[in-house]
Amino acid sequence: MNDNLKKMARAGYVAKGSVYGITGILTFLAAFNLGGEKTSQLEVLKFLDEQPFGNVLLALLGVGLIFYAAWRYTQSIEDPEGIGEDKKGKVKRVAFFISGTLYLGLGAMALWRVIGSGAGSGGSGSGNSAQNSSILDSENGLIALGIIGAAIVGTGIYQFIRIYKADFMKKFDFESISEEKRRKTIKNSAYVGMASRGVLFLIIGYFALHAAITSNPSDIKTTRDAFSFLEDSSYGAWLLGIVAAGLVGYAVYMFMMARYRHFRG
């Protein structure tokens, strides 16, 4: 595999891990009233924008996320690691393409903030919102919403399947990692990270399905809404804190991917 592609992938993992790390830290602090706030990925961009050298941070993050998107597109289209053309391989490659598109959008938004082109976009927000609501209110829109909700639930379930099978371990060349502590860090950070992502996907997917079934698109929830759902439940602060800490664990897993991932091909 091309060395430049590997470098892009590693930079992408760092950028993705940074988004999850900031999301997890701010939400964990909010859970126990230590400052911070329940944060979605989009709000991470706002947080960085408000920091010293915010434009530099956003530019680095934006480029990193675009690198990650490029890596996902490459996995989907060119299949450099030989995932294959069977049913399982096709599903994975479609998932890679969707992931790439989502992170391409997030990376573009980060760079958009840097160049300041979004300053005048607020005026059209309500119109776009109304248009989106109208689309989702239609029969086809509700069907699409249901399909998306089911896919998100499926993604949540898949996180726990990955934990059970531990197939993510195949992405690492453990023979080259001499320290047992680092091996445990990879395993444990992956377990807690995937579990937290699984919980969030299940909550968001459930609400999307509920919105489709009840023909009420206003019930659609974001990551921040999922955090609020956890916080409002029994032992809410602890549940929110545990899930948020898990996202920090996922960030560590992404950083370990950037350092130790083994590329086939």
d(CA 43, CA 58): 12
What is residue 93's predicted lDDT score, i.e. its pLDDT? 93
d(CA 114, CA 62): 9
What is residue 124's predicted lDDT score, i.e. its pLDDT? 43
What is residue 184's predicted lDDT score, i.e. its pLDDT? 92
Residue type, 34: L
pLDDT by position in tens, the chain (length 265) = 788 999 999 999 999 999 999 999 999 999 998 888 888 888 899 899 888 888 999 999 999 999 999 999 999 999 988 888 888 889 999 999 999 999 999 999 999 988 874 444 444 444 444 455 556 667 787 888 899 999 999 999 999 999 999 888 888 877 778 788 888 999 999 999 999 999 999 999 999 998 889 888 777 778 888 999 898 888 889 999 999 999 999 999 999 999 999 887 6
Tokens, residue 93: 């490659």
d(CA 233, CA 27): 16
Contacts of 120 (CB under 8 A, 6+ apart): none
37 near 26, Cβ under 8 Å?
Answer: yes
Q: Could you give the C-alpha distances from 216 to 137, 140, 220, in angstroms and in order?
A: 7, 14, 8
pTM: 0.88
d(CA 94, CA 36): 35
d(CA 53, CA 132): 35
13 near 68, Cβ under 8 Å?
Answer: yes
What is residue 158's predicted lDDT score, i.e. its pLDDT? 93
Q: How far apart are the first and last CA of the chain?
A: 5
Q: Strand, coil or helix: what is 35?
A: coil
Tokens, residue 241: 């804190």
Contacts of 220 (CB under 8 A, 6+ apart): 136, 145, 207, 208, 211
What is residue 137's predicted lDDT score, i.e. its pLDDT? 65
Q: Could you give the C-alpha distances from 82 to 85, 89, 173, in angstroms and in order?
A: 9, 9, 17
d(CA 221, CA 230): 12
What is residue 1's predicted lDDT score, i.e. its pLDDT? 76
